[in-house]
Amino acid sequence: MGQTGAKRTDVILLNLYINHFGKKRNMAAKKKKNCLDETAHVGHICELESQEEWDTIRMITDRPAVRCENCGNQANAATYVCMPEDL
């Protein structure tokens, strides 16, 4: 039996929250990752997470079709991740 849309969205948001806050981050030690469109980066999930834009994230992740090669986040369209690949 599959998850309902709202329940699936809650699971996605919980995973994003854990990914964002559950890891110790050492930005200086992290290797810089590439973004295919630096000008649109403000609309990418990784940036939206840092701004805690959970409502926006909920809207752009309810029907995932791509995942980011950098962070693994899934989104509805390639425009919402840095390095998209089809699911």
pLDDT string in tens for the chain (87-residue length)? 455 666 777 777 777 766 665 554 443 334 456 888 888 888 999 999 999 999 999 999 999 999 999 989 999 999 999 999 999
Q: How far is CA 23 from CA 17, 54, 83, in A?
A: 10, 18, 21
Encoded amino acid at 83, one letter: M
